[in-house]
Amino acid sequence: MDTAQPGTKSQHQFPCKDCGADLVFAPGTNCLKCPYCGAENCIPDAPPGAVQEEDFRATLANLTHSQDLQDTLAVKCVACGAESQFGSDVVSSKCPFCGAAIVATAQSKKQIKPKALLPFLITREEASTAFRRWVASLWFAPSELTRTAERSGIDGVYTPAWTYDADTDSAYTGQRGDDYWDTETYTDRDANGNTVTRTRQVRRTRWSYVSGQVANQFDDILVLASNSLPRKIAQRLEPWDLKNLVPYRDEYLSGFVAESYQVDLPQGFDTARGIMDGYIRQSICRDIGGDHQQIATVNTRYENITFKHTLLPVWISAYRYRERVFRFLVNARSGEVQGERPYSAWKITAVVLAAIFVVILIALFAHAH
């Protein structure tokens, strides 16, 4: 059974009843485990339906004095801007997002409490193995990359996200294109060079004005609330098994770092609306029908908007190679691997020169024969 590394600082600590050491959450289980004596303290199972949606508009209207706000001590990394929540007794640490050393001068800020999370399922050993396998598979990677990356280690981080639900009603105008075949007459020359008249079938499109209305229901549109990770790479970790969300408990964070959100609730919904818009336009095209569709205007009304503030588990290795930061990410639920990598200019040059040499040899051999 794997746990977070002993000594990793988390926001909350749970002392072992046997030896007094800090218990840490053991990925793949539902228990806290002592990394020294092995004592366990299991987390009670949540009843079905324990994770509840929250009303979006009501939360925004009462945000300044809502009971759903909490004071967090966020440590900001000056190198990459990540804001992480460490234990109150942490004096210094390494930023898990860029590998830079940070001094923990924490700043208090009010944020919406997370109400749900996905616990770590993939263990540190499994993530490290995937990391080594990924580095070994890289073409044209610098020879010293493996040693550099492995020295950097791997950290468990809860990254924040929003999920949004909404019912939408969209009125649209546009055009429907229906294809038909027309007989076209044209002139050509036959084999003897004589001008002849021929006919052929040509496909044309008849356009007509359309208007209508479509309704859609959206469930758990996911928006990452972190700006600390490369967005394209982080998005490639999807999908997340959001149906397995559990109610937030401090115990799940023990032994891990939790990142504070940098994309707030309304900003997240703006992003979610952009995602919804793509699906709405697809449903409009289906409603228009025909062979081609052109959408002129869309006016969407959003109702029954709800959200969840959740935390997603990620294993991160941030390693520095020649003054640049490269990051490797593992979805700690599915094991999906994504990352950034450097290239060896020397290896690429060697391959290009070898290819040129082979081409020259082939040319010389062909000329000789």
- The residue type of 320 is R
Domains identified in the chain, total number = 1
pLDDT winner (highest mean) among 118-132, 237-251, 339-353: 237-251
Would you say residue 202 lies in a domain?
A: no
Would you say residue 265 lies in a domain?
A: yes
Rounded CA separation 341/233 (Å): 12
Mean pLDDT of 4-13: 47
Which helix (H) or strand (E) is 22 found in, with range? strand 22-25
Mean pLDDT of 32-56: 87
Q: What is the pLDDT of residue 141?
A: 57
CA 36 to chain centre: 34
What is the biggest distance separating any 2 CA atoms in the chain, rounded to whole angstroms?
103
Q: What is the pLDDT of residue 203?
A: 94
pLDDT tens profile 138-150: 665 555 666 655 6
**Residue 109 above 80 pLDDT?**
no
**Is residue 239 reached through a cis peptide bond, with omega within 30 degrees of 0 on the bond before it?**
yes
Closest CA to 124 of 287, 282, 271, 8: 8
Would you say residue 199 lies in a domain?
A: no
Would you say residue 4 lies in a domain?
A: no
Token representation of residue 361? 């040899």
Least confident of 151-155, 223-227, 294-298: 151-155
Would you say residue 368 lies in a domain?
A: no
**Residue 223 above 90 pLDDT?**
yes
pTM of the model: 0.80
Rounded CA separation 66/75 (Å): 24
Rounded CA separation 118/344 (Å): 38
Token representation of residue 11? 């926001």
Scan for tokens 């001590």, then name that residue: 73
Least confident of 112-126, 133-147, 168-182: 133-147
Rounded CA separation 315/234 (Å): 11
- Confidence label for 27 from pLDDT (cuts 50, 70 and 90): very high
Q: What is the pLDDT of residue 322?
A: 66
Contact 271, 225 (CB under 8 A): no
Contact 169, 217 (CB under 8 A): no
Residue 60: Cβ-neighbour burial (10 angstroms; 0-12, 13-18, 19+): middle
Q: Check residues 100 and 265 and name the one with the higher pLDDT.
A: 265
pLDDT tens profile 50-106: 899 999 999 998 877 666 777 776 777 777 777 776 544 344 467 777 777 665 556
Q: What is the pLDDT of residue 4?
A: 47
Would you say residue 183 lies in a domain?
A: no
Rounded CA separation 244/93 (Å): 32
- Confidence label for 353 from pLDDT (cuts 50, 70 and 90): low
Q: Check residues 228 and 223 and name the one with the higher pLDDT.
A: 223
Mean pLDDT of 230-242: 89
Would you say residue 190 lies in a domain?
A: no
Contact 98, 77 (CB under 8 A): yes
pLDDT tens profile 282-301: 999 999 999 999 999 999 99
What totals of helices (H) and strands (E) does the chain contain, helices first?
Answer: 6, 18
Would you say residue 134 lies in a domain?
A: yes
**Residue 7 above 70 pLDDT?**
no
Scan for tokens 């290795």, then name that residue: 317
Q: Which domain holds residue 249?
A: 14-172+210-351
